[in-house]
Structure 1
Amino acid sequence: MTITPNKIPPQSQDRQPALESEMTPRPEYDDPNYKGSGKLQDKVALITGGDSGIGRSVAVYYAKEGADVAIVYLDETNDAKETQKAVEDLGRRCLLIEGDIRNESFCHEAVQKTIDEFGKLDILVNNAAEQYYEPSIEDIDSARLGSIFATNIFSMFYFTKAAMPHLKEGSTIINTTSINAYKGNASLLSYSTTKGAILAFTRSLSQPLIEKGIRVNGVAPGPIWTPFIPDAFGGDDVSNFGKQVPMQRPGQPKEVAPCFVFLASEDSSYMAGQVLHPNGGVVVGA
């Protein structure tokens, strides 16, 4: 059953990134009724932030569709191993790559490890991000600004550059942006700004890569119950999370992952530079 806002108790975590294993209730990353049909059979996907939240769900759904996956994460090893087990239980391989995506050298190493393990790369999912609650612009210092841009947008440049020599016609790149790129969010100023940059990156990158037969698209989730929430908000604010959208509840990762399947598969063969909006019914501009 999909959770509703009043079933989320007040909670917080004193680490960034937060751990999915310590969330109450646990996010729902898999729908047992979802049956794969080989849409990504024998493809290889690299997913940043694949240890938990949306990234974990994408890894599981890709495995259901026949793909092997490499997941990149910072230091949430237990969460990453849980994702790995879920993928392997579906009969696919899952490579764990731990490191800091703010470091360009690491991003290149992660891509190379994927190639060394699987022999190719078909799908790049730029999903990892960090987020901070900021009541005022005065709360944002240069260190935080540098960190959030390095994690949320610079890493997408790093991974895409590293992946390009290995991508071929039919490959796909999918970037996770946010509803906040369209609506803005006064209390998530730095995060929302990076997500706007990701939207521009997605649209701009898509155009020259069309000539290479590589499609670039994005997904802009609304309020989704992931480890982002207890580490960014915490306390009573968490129990109200998601009530602001027309559906009056937070979404689950499993409600977002099918968008990534669609954009990675031939079902979206006539789409490039576009963004899908699993956001609980909020109508946003193009």
Structure 2
Amino acid sequence: MTDQYKMQNPLTQYPATDFPKQHQPAPGVQAEMRPVPDCGEKSYRGSGRLQDRKALVTGADSGIGRAAAIAYAREGADVALSYLPDEQQDAEEVAKLVEQAGRKAVLLPGDISQEAFSKKLVADAHKALGGLDILALVAGKQVAVEDVADLSSEQFRKTYETNVFALHWITQAALPLLPAGASIITTSSIQAYQPSPNLLDYASTKAAIIAYTRALAKQVAAKGIRVNCVAPGPIWTPLQICGGQPQDAIPTFGQQTPLKRAGQPAELAGVYVYLASQESSYVTAEVHGVTGGNHLG
């Protein structure tokens, strides 16, 4: 891809061939995936839609978070990058791309499933950026388990801490710092609407995120802060090869959608930009699906 804005057939915009089976220990390194996901490194071009904005992006090292961070920088925003320490290699690549766009990148490694770190993350991002007006909460944990009897309390708890509790802690810490006009963007999934039987814990967290988003949007509307949600379908990210999908499902991942292929993170960047920008000034408490045709609901 050299320009994702050029008109083309979405069926063939990205290859629809089988992915090779592959596994990495969580959280995974995007640079070692085959094929490496497209996060817009070469294809996203900005137009000043977020000039001088200040964004905190979780899961910013790879996948959808990486795509959002790159897009925000190319639209004119400074970006604080939240990621796990094991993802340093990917995060440093994103930081370079942000800086190449002429914007400030702040690297903030740590585990958002820990309340103390989540709150410190917000304070550190606010201080380093000199403000904060975009929260893009993308980081998530997904591990497939075929039988509920094998779903441990440890995994169930960790999935909720990463996907739901962290969202709450970060939002709670950020709200006193956000000005009118700020935007909070959460990340759910088609799994909230069409849950897979082997993603019991993950799917239920994604349903919780939608309810949290809509309730929060109504609570903070009077402050002039908007809250919206993105619900991806099958997107090719490290989440899938670190236990998010069974090995046998990886080769044909995403091919069951009407567009007959998995999505790429770059294909979500525009939605995260739109919801952060003033173009969506009358949009709040909404869920935006990017699913390849497997519609929400």
Answer whether TM exceeds 0.5 for this pair: yes
Unaligned stretches of 5+ residues in structure 2: 2-12
Please say if 1:252 is aligned against 2:264: yes
| Residue number in structure 2 paired with 1:273 | 285
The Cα offsets for residues 73-122 of structure 1, whole Å up to 9 and x where unpaired, read as: 11211011011111111111111101111111111111111122111000
Q: Which amino acid aligns with 1:27?
A: P
Opposite residue 226 of structure 1, the aligned amino acid is T
Please give the alpha-carbon distance, in whole angstroms, between the structure 1 residues aligned to 2:91 and 2:165: 23
- The residue that corresponds to 1:126 in the other structure is 137
Cα-to-partner distance string for 1:151-187 (whole Å, 9 max, x where unaligned):
0000000000110111010000000000111111111
Where does residue 55 of structure 1 map in the other structure? 65
**How far apart in 2 are the matches of 1:33 and 1:131?**
28
Written as runs of structure 1 = structure 2, the 5 A alignment for 1:83-232 is 83-232=94-243
Pair 1:135–1:234, CA change in 2 (3 A): closer
1:20 aligned residue: 30
Aligned with 2:53 (options 37, 43, 52):
43
Q: CA RMSD in A?
A: 1.2
One-letter amino acid matched to 1:54: I
SS in 1 for 2:57: strand
Alpha-carbon distance in 1 for matches of 2:284, 2:96 = 33
Gaps of at least 5 residues in structure 1 are none
Match of 1:74 among 84, 108, 111: 84
Change (3 A) 1:9 1:224: same
TM-score normalised per structure 1? 0.96
Separation in 1 of the partners of 2:61 and 2:123?
Answer: 19
- CA offset digits 1:178-215 (Å, max 9, x no partner): 01111111111110000000011101100011000000
**Aligned in 2, Cα 1:149/1:40: closer, same or farther, shift over 3 Å?**
same
How far does residue 43 in structure 1 lie from its aligned partner after superposition?
0.4
* Per-residue deviation, 1:136: 1.4
In the alignment, is the contact (CA less than 8 A) between 1:5 and 1:239 conserved in 2?
no
Amino acid at match of 2:285: G
Against the structure 1 CA distance between its residues 236 and 184, is the aligned structure 2 distance closer, same or farther, given a 3 Å change threshold? Answer: closer
Instruction: Tell me which amino acid in the other structure corresponds to 1:51.
Output: D
Counterparts of 1:61 and 1:210, CA distance in 2: 26
Distance 1:17-1:33 versus aligned 2 partners, 3 A rule: closer
Contact kept in structure 2, 1:49 and 1:127, CA below 8 Å: yes
Cα shift at 1:32: 4.1
Range that drifts further, 97-106 or 228-237: 228-237
Per the alignment, residue 9 of structure 2 pairs with: none
Secondary structure at the aligned position of 2:108 is classed as strand
User: Quick one: distance in 2 between partners of 1:192 and 1:33?
Assistant: 31
Letter in 2 for 1:72: S
Distance (whole Å) between structure 2 residues aligned to residue 269 and residue 178 of structure 1: 23
* SS of corresponding position for 2:261: coil
Shift of 1:234: 5.1
Amino acid corresponding to residue 60 of structure 1 in structure 2: I
Task: Give the structure 2 partner of residue 283 of structure 1.
Answer: 295
